[in-house]
Amino acid sequence: MDTARFILFAIVTGIATVAVHVYLYRRLFAATSEHRAWRRVGMSVMTVLGTLLVLSWSVTRFLPMDATFAVATGVWTWMGMAIYLLLALEVLGAVRKVAARMQRSRGEPAVVELRGGETASVSHRSTQAGSTLAATGTESVSVTQEALATSGHGAATTHAEAAPVAMAEKPGGAMSEAPAAAGSSGAMPAASAPVDVERRRFLARATAGGAALAAGGVTGFGMWSAFHPPVVNEVAVKLPGLPKALDGFSIVHLSDIHVGPVIRRRFMDELVRRCNALRPDLVCITGDLVDGHVASLAPAVSALSELKSRHGTYFVTGNHEYYWSDAAWAEALERMDVHVLRNRHVRIGDTAASFDLVGVDDWSAGKMGFSQGYDLAAATAGRDSERASVLLAHQPSNWKVAAREGMGLQLSGHTHGGQFFPFTLAVSAIWEHDAGLFHEGDRHLYVSRGTGFWGPPLRVGAPPEIVWVTLLA
User: Distance between CA atoms of 473 and 353, rounded to whole angstroms?
Assistant: 11
Which CATH architecture does the domain made up of 230-472 adopt?
4-Layer Sandwich (3.60)
Nearest alpha carbon to residue 397 among 361, 371, 354:
361
Which pLDDT belongs to residue 111?
Answer: 53
Region of 32 please: left (phi>0), alpha (psi -120 to 50) or beta.
Answer: alpha
Which pLDDT belongs to residue 359?
Answer: 98
Question: How many residues are given for the chain?
Answer: 473
Where do runs of H (alpha helix) occur along 304-389? 319-323, 326-335, 376-380
Where do runs of H (alpha helix) occur along 162-245? 197-227
The CA-based dihedral angle spanning residues 419, 450, 249, 378, taken in that order and rounded to the nearest 10 degrees: 120
- Residue 446, beta-bridge partner list: 411, 437
User: Distance between CA atoms of 272 and 256, rounded to whole angstroms?
Assistant: 15
> What stretch(es) of the chain map to CATH 3.60.21.10?
230-472
Which pLDDT belongs to residue 60?
Answer: 72
The number of angstroms, rounded, from the C-alpha of 431 to the middle of its chain's C-alpha atoms is 14
Give me the tens of pLDDT residue by residue for the chain, a chain 473 residues long: 567 777 888 889 899 999 999 999 999 999 999 999 999 999 999 999 999 998 887 777 677 677 777 788 889 999 999 999 999 999 998 998 898 888 888 876 555 555 555 555 554 444 444 444 333 444 433 444 444 344 444 433 334 343 344 444 444 444 444 444 444 444 444 455 566 788 889 999 999 999 999 999 999 999 999 999 999 999 999 999 999 999 999 999 999 999 998 899 999 999 999 999 999 999 999 999 999 999 999 999 999 999 999 999 999 999 999 999 999 999 999 999 999 999 999 999 998 999 999 999 999 998 888 989 999 999 999 999 899 999 999 999 999 999 999 999 999 999 999 999 999 999 999 999 999 999 999 999 999 999 999 989 999 999 999 999 999 99
